[in-house]
Amino acid sequence: MTPEEIKERLLAGLTEDQKVAVQSPKRRLLIVAGAGAGKTEVMARRIVWWITMNDVPKERTVALTFTEKAAGEMKFRIREKLKTIADPGDDVSLGGMYVGTIHGYCLAKLREYWPDIYHNYDILDEAARSALIFREFRGVLRLDKLQEALNTSQNETVKRFMTGYDQLNEHNLLDVALPDTVPPYRLGDDERAWCAEARLRTDVGDDAVSRAFAESAARYYAYLRCRRFLDFSTSQTEFLRNMARDPDPPHRLSEEPLHVVVDEAQDLNPVQQDIVERLIGSIGSLTVVGDHRQSIYGFRGAKVQIIADLWATFRRADDGETIDLRENFRSTPRIIGIANEWARTISPLGSMITPDMRHGKEDRIDIDPSHVASVRFTTREEEARWIADAIRALVPSDRFGAEHDKRNGKTRGLSLSDIGILVRSATDVRTYMNALENRGIPVVVRAGPDLFSQPEVLFFLGLLAITANIAEFYGSLHNPRSLPARIQNVLGCPPRPDEVIRASADMLRKAGLPLSHEAERRVLRAAEAVRDKITSGSAGAGDFRDEGLQRYLRDSGKPRRVFPQTIYHWLLTEAEIDRWDTGFPRGETALFHLGALSGLVTGLETPGWTSATDYKWQIVGLGQFGSEEGRSPEQPLLVPPDAVTLSTIHGVKGLEFAAVFLADVTAGRFPSSLAKRKAELPMSGDILRQIDADGLSDNDNHDGERRLMYVALTRAERFLFVSRSGKRTSQFIKDLEPIIRHNGGTVTDNPTELLRRIRHAPLEYQRDVQLNTSFSDLRYYLACAHDFYLRKVLGFSPTIDQAFGYGRGLHNLMRAIHGNPRYWAELATDQKRLISELEKLVDQGLFYLRYTTGEPAENMRQKGIRLAAEYVRTFRSELERTVFEPEKAFETVLDPGDDSGGIMVSGAIDVVRHEDPPRVTLIDFKSGDPDSDKYRLDEDEMRLQLGIYALGTKKELEYEPDLGLVRYLDVDGTAERRQLEVSLDAKSLKTAEDTVLGIARAIKNRDFRRGPAKPAADGKHRCRTCDFFGFCGMKVGVGDR
């Protein structure tokens, strides 16, 4: 294809401004992209322009996004554009390009550049971080000293500590002196002693609070290093620290320019700006995309001034340029006009000029003034009932919905998942949920810290509290996000677990969930029995459904270790939650919330071993963190439930809905009366100026809150309703209602005037869903569609096994061996030296076991060393003469060819063995015995796994794999007995591709009401070995019980 043809295709269908942005020759470019401006498309085309027109190597291209979801969409777009300009046989892969979040990039590069140190490190999410901090509050972290200095509650101490620590990181000011030795890999006394030697070099002040904070901050950073974790903020400074102190960096960033795209630049913080500047240096290219009107994370440390400074700098620079993308392809003209006028109420940002958005989608027109409105009600209950009625007017049945235009110019009927109810704060949303439930409308809380306002969550939290011997939930009733305040608001009962259980059970029954009084009594008895077992070592026998629970109670002695997720699963089983798992809407939304709670319980287990004494404080921490911040992590569902989304505005950043109900815009709530409250940081002196502590709060014009309102308004495609209740009127309503009138919308106290001229069409779900998945995820569906539904759609997590980490440790040894194969082959004949060198790898932390300690941990490490040594001896000749690539990551897209969206499959091949390149052999290691029932059962899945890996190798790495080997490490015998050979011929690869595409179609069609696809080795169903056997609602599983 000629350059002119490529240019024509890359610029096809773009506006003039978009074309300029794609082609710009400037080294530094700022694209100010308004809401719905097609920024992802422009970024993708600019990247492809670099690659095809400017000959930029793919591996020198980096695209940094705000969320993993945005990264997934970007990857699909880039591939799509590469495909449109490719000749037959051309490479349309991403190659070595990085597309993902900034913290993800930092962790990836830490692992790549310094693998011996960071290969074992994982990101600690917010729930797990909270669990780690509460676990070691009085232990390693010495936060009790900070609490004493602050003279406040434990929960408030943790909040201030985390804020202070993150702000040091987000301004690249964290500097900790660690001991000279490698962080210990044995849990317990060794790591406690090592952490105690850490010292904070950063000057955070000299008063009692500052000194206590300094000690805890240093210990926390050291503890992360011991446990092989990095949290989000630390991952970024850790990358910069290593870049700065490495005298001979392997990455050679300064020798070849990087070409970097940064999305959501309005939410950058100073350390992220430092990272970007380090990547581009003086010769790299930078394209920054953002919209200062949508900067909504100032309270976390984002600095909107960064994008303003870039705007001013790039406009002045000879190698710089700024471009405005003004067309809005999302919303109707009326909504765009309202958003434009609202943007003018935000204070100017320096000299930055903000042109209005323009209507960009010709067929998305306004139908009636009543479809965009501000409406007032007397009470919040009345407001909530009207919203429920309005949703039923938009989606009257499961067959028809309000007419809406599609991308192809045709129309479809809206589904419930096209509707979003947005609130400024999630503390008072129960009223809206009750109204929806009364109308039979399913709703899920996707974002915002409101998970602990759901009665099903409070029910099981109360039960978990009983198991932990907690008599009462503590917190201030003046804080609406405290657990006692939520309990009072939702249930109207005292914050005692027994009262919470009774009140929430009654509410669940009233909502139509099948929770019998007998199940309620049984699950309470189960919780009390677990409590007695943990505290005294003995518990009375009970007639319980779960066999595992019965065995646990029968075992003699007091347990040393507690498995929180297992206890949670027992409670789900005893409450007969399987009766909720029958596909009815309220049951599905309840299970979605309970799946989110399961994710938070996993956070308790993630930091490591939970002792019997730790367990109580872990559940205390779960209640406090969950009530204040409990939300699902950023991991988009593969298939959304057909339910209305109820979310905070922050939670839907980057999303859009055909119909938006912006609720509860009342005085004190929006703008929030708390937004201007000064952040209380545990520091003093000049450090507060360096981190701009005042910038964490809103200004007198409420500009942060005004930007949040702008984001809410611009989520709407066609229908937009702003509602409030009560006698007091918010300043935002006073400012907004004249704007709505001026743009032809409706302002009324009479909701019957709204939603006129609604045309209905056959309901249609949005099927053009792009799936991002892995072989592991697909394997769950292949084994059992309903397992996949519970695990990946609803979010239930299995218990973290105490042997977790063993397989990873063994794979780490394999990576080291194949990374330097000739060296290890030379050691094969010297058993003593071979073992000694493997032990050195273990001492470096390559066989780190986070969930096992003492003799079992030592036994696992010694077994790993023995198996690795046996492997070296067995495959000595191959190691002597062959070139290997260990742990080769890939992503590949499979296209079903029906415009329903592709499926991106990612993975990492354990070892690529070079035969006669491009001909290679793919090797996958298994740490089990091939003669066991499990491995005989899963042989077909192993063939599929290697088939998928071969597809990725051919498409992305341009190799020609013709053979796959599954190598079993835990087996004696010859090399032939140690491995399974898998043909990777064209027929095998076609079978693998068809299988994956078939699974993708089934997932998009929500085909989850099927049980296991294969029997167990004894011919019976596999249900008894399922992680979720006790509460699965499939008939086959229930029957097996």
- Closest to 420 in 3D by CA, of 647, 224, 614, 603: 647
CB atoms within 10 A of CB 490: 25
Is 39 annotated as contributing to ligand binding?
A: yes
Is 38 annotated as contributing to ligand binding?
A: yes
Buried b (16+ CB within 10 A) or exposed e, 912-950: bbeeeeeebbbbbbbbeebeeeebebbeeebbbbbbbbb
Tell me the three state secondary structure of residue 476: coil
Q: DSSP letter for 697, please.
A: S
Annotate 235-278 with DSSP letters as a single string: HHHHHHHHHHH-SS-TT-TTTS--EEEES-GGG--HHHHHHHHH
Is 410 annotated as contributing to ligand binding?
A: no
Number of residues assigned to the chain = 1041
Buried b (16+ CB within 10 A) or exposed e, 211-225: bbbbbbbbbbbbbbb
User: How many CA atoms, within 13 angstroms, populate the side-chain half-sphere of residue 325?
Assistant: 30
Burial of 302 (0-12, 13-18, 19+ CB in 10 A): buried
Q: Which two tokens stand for residue 156?
A: 């408030």
CB neighbours of 263 closer than 8 A, spacing ≥ 6?
39, 40, 43, 63, 64, 65, 66, 70, 74, 289, 290
Tell me the three state secondary structure of residue 122: strand
Buried b (16+ CB within 10 A) or exposed e, 750-772: ebeebbeebebeebbbbeebbbb
**Where does residue 42 fall: left (phi above 0), alpha (psi -120 to 50 degrees), or beta otherwise?**
alpha
Q: DSSP letter for 636, please.
A: -
- Closest to 376 in 3D by CA, of 661, 719, 665, 646: 665
Provide the β-strand partners of residue 124.
Answer: 231
Tell me the H-state helices in 882-953. 933-937, 939-952
Task: Give the whole-angstrom CA distance, residue 922 versus residue 947.
Answer: 10
Residue found by looking up tokens 């708390």 in the block: 674
Instruction: Give a three-class secondary structure readout of 143-166.
Output: HHHHHHHHCCCHHHHHHHHHHHHH
Q: Which two tokens stand for residue 695?
A: 């910038």
- Closest to 981 in 3D by CA, of 961, 997, 996: 961
Task: Give the whole-angstrom CA distance, residue 603 versus residue 132.
Answer: 9
- Closest to 172 in 3D by CA, of 235, 118, 114: 235
Is 33 annotated as contributing to ligand binding?
A: yes
Distances (CA, A) of 662 to 49, 645, 714: 40, 12, 11
Is 675 annotated as contributing to ligand binding?
A: no
**Crossing angle between the packed helical segments 232-245 and 102-113, to the nearest 10 degrees:** 40
Angle among Cα 1037, 1038, 1040 to the nearest 5 degrees reads: 65
Is 35 annotated as contributing to ligand binding?
A: yes
CB neighbours of 16 closer than 8 A, spacing ≥ 6?
none
Please state the residue numbers annotated as binding site for ATP. 33-40
Please state the residue numbers annotated as binding site. 33-40
